[in-house]
Amino acid sequence: MPTTEPTGAGARPALAPELARRCYLDMLTARRIDEEAVALQRQGVFPAYVSLRGQEAAQVAGALAIDAERDFAFPTYREMGVALALGVDMPGYMASHRALWHGGLYDPAASRFAPINAVVGGPVPHAVGWAVGERLRGGPGCAVAYFGDGASSEGDVHEAMNFAGVYGAPVVFFCQNNRWALSVPNERQVAGGSVAARAAGYGMPGTAVDGNDAAAVHTAMAEALERARSGGGPSLIEALTYRVEPHSTSDDPTRYRDLAEEHAWRERDPIPALRARMEADGSGDEAFFTEAEKRAAERAEAVRDAVAAAPEPDGSELFTHVFREPTEELARQRRVWREEVEL
């Protein structure tokens, strides 16, 4: 039966010291890149941006359980921390937020990280399709499908989970439940109050974990991936976290939620929480945390400068990679565009 209480309610999992240090550095780096990205939007470099602040543990700790040699992650538009943990070229990833190219300028096949998908629930059926194909070819990989609590109400997600359950696809459905589907709270769009509980209807285990507890997330993801690799089929993980920033830089959350709620969740910040556990168990000392801050800031600044300086693509690329064989209408539009830009 699915577990609907966070793993953290009982015995708390722990991270090995080296893994904890890697996780902390990546979480902190994701936070610093996120801050630079918001600043770039305010400066007009990015037309818009979606922040992951508060969800670093859910993204980074889970991604560190993924095997980048054989698995494949299918992200939404908010999984910058997953991209970072998997070693994706970050200026190439951030190029999508600057609107330089659909899905980013990195290599999805080499990165094992699919192009950014802004369709709500869109990555989920893609992940299942890849997982079924991987099983049919006898490959060892698993797919990880990322989606939010709002996307869990989409028909595509239900169909994909049912298909995966019927065919035993090696896929992990990873829901970051950040409590708000844009301006709609959980209680108004998740019947029964739990995404994890729905897993039973698709013949798979569902587990809810504290999404701000890096060790709990990592443990849940590692267990789900191992289950899929051993032929156990799909799993659903619901990482209970919170979106402390607006849905995007175009959003005003003061119109629909209480500031006191935001402040309470900021006190549950996953980065200081991981630091406290590392200090308590000896995984990190003051020298490590000082060096991590330095490295994270330097990496964030390098990513900022690289994506801001990246050249804009030629306008003719509006018409490439649309159809394998261009249609007459597309050719006409390209001629009209060329005539206009050459005036």
Question: Within a 10 A sphere around the Cβ of 254, how many other Cβ atoms?
Answer: 10
Query: Residue 2 pLDDT more than 70?
Result: no
Cβ(143)–Cβ(72) below 8 Å: yes
The pLDDT of residue 316 is 86
Query: Residue 1 pLDDT more than 80?
Result: no
For 158-181, how does the pLDDT look when each residue is reduced to its tens digit (9 = 90+)?
999 999 999 999 999 999 999 999
* Residue extents of the structural domains in the chain: 7-312, 313-343
At position 261, the amino acid (one-letter code) is E
Mean pLDDT score of the chain, rounded to an integer?
94
The pLDDT of residue 102 is 82
The pLDDT of residue 192 is 87
The pLDDT of residue 10 is 54
For 230-244, how does the pLDDT look when each residue is reduced to its tens digit (9 = 90+)?
999 999 999 999 999
First-residue to last-residue Cα distance in the chain: 67
Q: Which of 59, 67, 64, 70 is nearest to 33 (CA)?
A: 59
The pLDDT of residue 178 is 95
Work out the average pLDDT over 66-94: 97
What confidence category does residue 151 fall into, taking pLDDT thresholds of 50, 70 and 90?
very high
- Is pLDDT larger for residue 8 or for residue 337? 337
**175: which strand partners?**
147, 238
Report the number of secondary-structure helices (H) and strands (E) in the chain: 13, 7
Calpha distance 10→5 (Å, rounded): 9
Catalytic amino acids?
243, 247, 256
What confidence category does residue 6 fall into, taking pLDDT thresholds of 50, 70 and 90?
low
The pLDDT of residue 101 is 85
pTM of structure: 0.92
Work out the average pLDDT over 37-63: 97
Q: What is the DSSP string of 148-196?
A: ETTGGGSHHHHHHHHHHHHHT--EEEEEEE-SEETTEEGGGTSGGG-SG
Question: Within a 10 A sphere around the Cβ of 100, how many other Cβ atoms?
Answer: 18
Question: 7-312 adopts what CATH topology?
Answer: Rossmann fold (3.40.50)
For 264-303, how does the pLDDT look when each residue is reduced to its tens digit (9 = 90+)?
999 999 999 999 999 999 999 999 999 999 999 999 999 9
User: Which pair of tokens denotes residue 323?
Assistant: 């159809």
Calpha distance 206→194 (Å, rounded): 10
Sign of CA dihedral 291, 292, 297, 298: positive
The pLDDT of residue 306 is 97
The pLDDT of residue 5 is 45
Q: What is the DSSP string of 98-157?
A: TTSSTT-SS-HHHHTBPPP--STTTHHHHHHHHHHHHHHTT----EEEEEETTGGGSHHH
Query: Residue 224 pLDDT more than 90?
Result: yes
